[in-house]
Chains A and B, each alone.
Chain A
Amino acid sequence: MTRKIYPFYFIAIALGIYIIFTVVPSLMGIYLSFTDWNSYSREVHFIGLDNFKTIFSSNENYMHGINNTVIFTISTIVLKTMIGLLLAILVNKGIRLKNFHRVILFLPAIIPMLVVGIIFKSIFNPEYGLINEVLRALGLNQWTQHWLTDVNWAFKSIIAVDVWKGAGYIMVILLAGIQAISHSYYEAADIDGAGAWKKFRFITVPLLMPALMVTTVLNLLYGLKIFDTVYVLTNGGPGYATDVVYTQVFSQFTLGSYGVGTALITVLFLIMTILGYFAIKLMSREEQNG
């Protein structure tokens, strides 16, 4: 009976195009990552683990991309969560023009990452860029930097841009979480004479855990796929200082070495399948219990 009312063909189109355009390429990629596939010759040879040896060898720069992707992901998770939480608490109460601030703080999240990159390219310019101008105006000339071309600063600058863009997004999710916490907990804590810190530590944080989990998962999945920001701001430079997996993938694409490129994606695919499995399981469980 249910089969007739909820027929399989309702699922089939979504499932079909998902399989054709996402799953099939991934499986093909696993096979082709063991070959010398490139854009110049029609023949493809099996070369075993060579591509992976290249990626994980210390003489090449690929490990740099993997390391940077991990550093980027972890630092943006930590920074966006902390700032997002602070903002959520701030705009929850005690503030005038709450809605106005919420709209403004979320605004960076909806602007294309590519455009954000272009805007910050001007802001980080060492000669006329806004940041160095402000530092000079404050008499802090020694603090001015070549934000995007100095090896020590380039990657930090990219992280800062991403935090600028993403903190408001995290704020909105955490704010919804905070507002779902019943007031009675805080009232009870008031009666017991708990201070602001204790209330935060023993009521807000534990009850906000599900929302914090979700923001962490979203940041994680987003961070591992980072590309646009880096591509526009530094394109991996100076040297290889800001290379991430996807900028390396794109350079392999333009070079025509599809074998190495697809091996890089396969590494990412395996990592994300494992992390994604637990992450998605967690998210869908929250959904069912909610």
Chain B
Amino acid sequence: MNRNKATKRLVQNIAIWIISLMAITPILLIVINAFKTAPEASSMNFSLPQMFQFENFVTVIEKGKLVRSFVNSVSYSGISSMLCILVSATAAFALARNKMKFNRFLYFFIIMGIALPLNYFTLIDVMKWTHLMNTKAGIIVLYSVTQIPFSIFILYGFIGGVPRELDEAGIIDGCGPKRLFFSVIFPVLRPAAVTVFILSFLNTWNEFLLPLYYLNSADKWPMTLAVYNFFGQFQQSWNLVSADIILTILPVIIVYLLGQRFIISGMTSGSVKG
């Protein structure tokens, strides 16, 4: 019996190592080849570089205009995520606290947005009317819009667990709706707000369809579009493409490692209650 259990454990451990290795292999492949010379990297394999080519990163930053795209991505993702939290949290608060029939309908109507596909064609017209076509502000608004339904979904669930006594105490102390929300409720929402921020930051950082449709000048491109364009130009130089990819995914990996707890709780909230 014991022996059986030991074998079972061994098999489980081997299995998980194999699968983890499969998960990480493509990423390791990129890391190793980012440090090679172009001929060494031409066959994208696991042989180690003769000498580590750190200048690949310098080349990529200059040729790929990565500084500009990095600043764009940080501002698009950062501002749109903050905008998204602000409007989603206030909306979720009012919707969750005042569950009259009309509000229930509105809540459902908004979270339907999790499913709805954007109409990229007619959205061009809307972008033109609102003078947001080909503008940085336009892409920021669109990024917020795409994140709002899911954010409201998460925050609504969270607010359901925040005691109403807090509101009452605030009202007795003479708070208006704005004071009540910003000085009493929002601080309590912080864990959920951080989750929403991180998730929407990652999603917008990784997105590339919206800029593909609505930004036509390279100086406004985010990292993803810059990488795609770089790949088109330097397909033969896998060392540079690899270095470019590393610089693009490094920020999300850092955010992931720092915010792991929040990302996972955000993804699982709504599906499972522990």
Q: Are A265 and B27 in contact (CB under 8 A)?
A: no
Does B51 belong to the interface (CB within 8 Å)?
A: no
Cβ B23 vs Cβ A105 within 8 A: yes
Q: Which of B29, B107, B224, B273 contacts A114 (CB 8 A)?
A: B224
Q: Say if the beta carbon of A20 comes within 8 Å of chain B.
A: yes
Which B residues touch A15, using CB under 8 A?
91, 106, 110
18 more A-B residue pairs beyond the given contacts A118-B241, A283-B153, with a C-beta to C-beta distance below 8 A: A11-B95, A14-B148, A15-B110, A17-B144, A21-B142, A22-B145, A28-B122, A32-B121, A87-B19, A104-B20, A107-B27, A107-B256, A115-B245, A119-B27, A272-B116, A273-B116, A276-B116, A290-B270
Does chain A have a CB within 8 A of B205? yes
Interchain CB contact under 8 A, A18 and B149 = yes
Do residues A22 and B248 form an inter-chain contact, with CB atoms below 8 A? no
> Once the chains are docked, how many angstroms separate the CA of A93 from the CA of B95?
40
Report the minimum CB–CB distance from B20 to chain A (whole Å): 5
Q: Is the interface of B mostly helix, strand, loop or mixed?
A: helix
Task: List 15 A-B pairs, Cβ < 8 Å.
Answer: A5-B167, A10-B90, A15-B110, A18-B149, A21-B126, A26-B116, A28-B125, A110-B263, A118-B231, A120-B26, A176-B268, A276-B112, A279-B115, A284-B108, A284-B153
B196 at the interface (CB under 8 A from A): no
Q: Which residues of A contact B274 (CB under 8 A)?
A: 176, 179-180
Chain B residues in the interface with A (C-beta under 8 A): 8-9, 12-13, 15-16, 19-20, 22-27, 29-30, 42-45, 87-88, 90-91, 93-95, 97-98, 103, 106-108, 110-123, 125-126, 130, 141-142, 144-145, 148-149, 152-153, 156-157, 160, 167, 171, 177, 180-181, 202, 205-209, 212-213, 224, 227-228, 231, 238, 241, 245, 248-249, 252-253, 256-257, 260, 263-264, 267-268, 270-274
A140 within 8 A of B: no
Question: Do A176 and B264 contact each other (CB < 8 Å), given the known contacts A14-B148, A118-B241, A269-B119?
Answer: yes
Given contact pairs A112-B208, A118-B241, A211-B272, A17 touches B121 in the complex (Cβ within 8 A): no
A228 touches B13 (CB 8 A): no
Q: Which residues of A contact B110 (CB under 8 A)?
A: 14-15, 18
Looking at the assembled complex, report how far the CB atom of B85 sits from the nearest CB atom of chain A, in whole angstroms: 11
Within the complex, the shortest CB–CB distance from A164 to chain B, in Å, comes to 7
Question: B20 and A101: CB pair below 8 A?
Answer: yes
Residue contact B248 to A112, C-beta cutoff 8 Å = yes
How many pairs of A and B residues are in contact by the CB < 8 Å rule? 279
Within 8 A of B (CB), among A166-209: 168-169, 172-173, 176-177, 179-180
Measured CA separation A202–B268 after assembly (Å):
23
Taking residues whose C-beta sits less than 8 angstroms from the other chain, chain A's interface range is 35 or more
Q: Which residues of A contact B8 (CB under 8 A)?
A: 94
B22 and A13 within 8 A (CB)? no
Convert A108-151 into 0s and 1s, putting 1 for each residue whose CB lies closer than 8 angstroms to a CB of B: 10111111101110110100111001000000000000000000
A17 engages B87 (CB within 8 Å): yes
Interface membership of A277, Cβ < 8 A? yes
